[in-house]
Amino acid sequence: MLKQNHRAWVEVDLSAIRHNVCQLKSLLTAPTELMAIVKADAYGHGAIDVSQAAIEAGASWLGVATIPEGIQLRNAGITAPIAILGATNGVDEIKAIAEYRLQPTICNAKQALIYHEVLSNIGAQIPVHLKIDTGMSRLGVNWQEAIAFIKLVQHLPNLEILSVYSHFATADDRDLTFMQLQTQRFQQVIAELQSEGIYPPYIHICNTAAMLCDRQIHYDIVRTGLGIYGLYPAPHLQNLVDLRPALTVKARITQVKEITAGTSVSYGRSFIAKADMKMATVAIGYADGIPRGLSNRLHVSVKGQKVAQIGTITMDQCAIDVTHIPDVNVGDVVTFLGGASGNTADDWAELLGTISWEILCGFKHRLPRINVVNAISDRQEILLEI
């Protein structure tokens, strides 16, 4: 299906994904490897194609949150190691993990014993990642209990310890005090393990923010999510590596009309024209991922010109002020995020008091994902639907 048949869509620049992976890998010292985090459909970018691009650019691992996310990648023919970063406990979940060669996170002794029993019954052994809670207080065994937990798992023959890892709570803060405390706790666990003669094949703790601000803790793997999509976890980290946003959101104008002074636009009459003006209706709304909270606060791009969004953003549509664009027509493309709009996910997040991760993950799947490939020979864009 060609782009011109879509009312609204998301464009994904896979060359930007590859560029970002290469840039992040340039910060690593061998043998540290990069795990591309592609959960939540690769932060809304399309998990299969992003995973393939990341692997092509040098990622050794993929990280997802759920078993179906891992199965989707396996069914697409992806053979790279896939870590499940969320908790899994059910019998059917464990069987699926074994069948699809996924690598689960084991968070506590009870979960480990359930895994061991199920795997014993089906005659399977799987590699596992052991999660240590050093201060995130989400998943993982408390760091004070980590040694006993790891020893327990070590004696379960159906579980092969592949890595021991933890996760930072504040790596994107300027104040690194708590991050340093978590690091100390993690290092203490690793030192105690080694004193017991236990050497996990891999240890890892860095997300994108941590890998940017402290190269001393890259260890064996870094887990990069936001960075591979071209965004920075915090403003103070922007000068450390060259990243390119990979996502652009576009939609088409479906009607152009003249309205007179005093005319209200959309639900709640949140916008009332102060003078005669020309408005256009655009086929995208909050059900597609354009936050309703941006109503009357958003500027978008039409024919290379910035214009204001007006009135309340509705489920499937919104309006824009095109008074000063004489040749605007039905079917013209409006860029909302990325590209000519000049808007970034960080900009929207700041307006809404949230984070860029939430913005990226908010674009719904009724928006087709379109791969954008820049052909070197003629510089024309080739658009391929994901």
Is 179 labeled as ligand-binding? no
- Residue 248 phi/psi, 5-degree rounding, is -130, 140
Is 110 in the active site? no
Residue with tokens 């993982």: 140
Length of the chain: 386
> Angle of helix 91-99 relative to helix 109-122, nearest 10 degrees?
60
Q: Which helix (H) or strand (E) holds 265?
A: strand 264-265
Is 151 in the active site? no
Give CA–CA dist 366/288, Å, rounded: 7
What is the three-class DSSP state of 223? strand
Q: Looking at 110, 151, 199, 267, which residue is catalytic?
A: 267
Amino acid occupying residue 218: H
Amino acid occupying residue 374: N
What is the rounded (10 degree) CA torsion for 83, 14, 334, 231? 60
Q: Which helix (H) or strand (E) holds 165?
A: strand 159-165
Q: Taking Cα atoms as reference points, which of 307, 274, 309 lies closest to residue 293?
A: 309
From the number of C-beta atoms within 10 Å of its C-beta (0-12, 13-18, 19+), residue 298 rates as buried
Is 101 labeled as ligand-binding? no
From the number of C-beta atoms within 10 Å of its C-beta (0-12, 13-18, 19+), residue 86 rates as middle
| Alpha helices, H only, 57-176 | 67-75, 91-99, 109-122, 146-154
Q: Looking at 39, 165, 219, 232, which residue is catalytic?
A: 39
From the number of C-beta atoms within 10 Å of its C-beta (0-12, 13-18, 19+), residue 148 rates as exposed
Active site residue ranges: 39, 267
- Residue set of the binding site for substrate: 138, 315
- Residue set of the binding site: 138, 315
